[in-house]
Homo-oligomer: A and B are copies of this chain.
Amino acid sequence: MPVPLYQAKADFFRTLGHPVRIRVLELLRDGPRPVRELLNEIEVEASNLSQQLAVLRRTGLVSAVREGGSVVYSLATPDIVDLLAAARRILTDMITGQGELLAELQAEAAE
């Protein structure tokens, strides 16, 4: 397998490797949301959120449309939901038996 593909995959995962960006994706799982609402749920400054949204946009994981005075974000593809689920499965495995985070992960899975 040629080199650039690894790079593309690594870049993709690296994009997910940030707490604010993960939170955005999880919030968007439930449907499109304006920036203002994301900002309500994520404790971070507006400009910082914007930076992270820009990263997600560049990577193509989310798309944004302007609606009147606000900008509404949504997931670019529903497959992202599967990915997050697969990640949770692994995280659960990894933490099982040793973990304070375990209860939280399980609670979330039951949602």
Contacts and interface: CB of A to CB of B under 8 A. Distances in A.
Chain A binding site: helix, strand, loop or mixed by DSSP?
helix
Nearest to A76: B94
A45 interface: no
Contact of A87 (B7, B83, B101): B83
A16 interface: yes
Interface string A15-29: 111111111001000
Given A1-B108, A83-B83, A87-B83, A13 B17 contact: yes
8 contacts: A1-B108, A5-B104, A5-B105, A10-B17, A13-B17, A17-B17, A80-B90, A83-B83
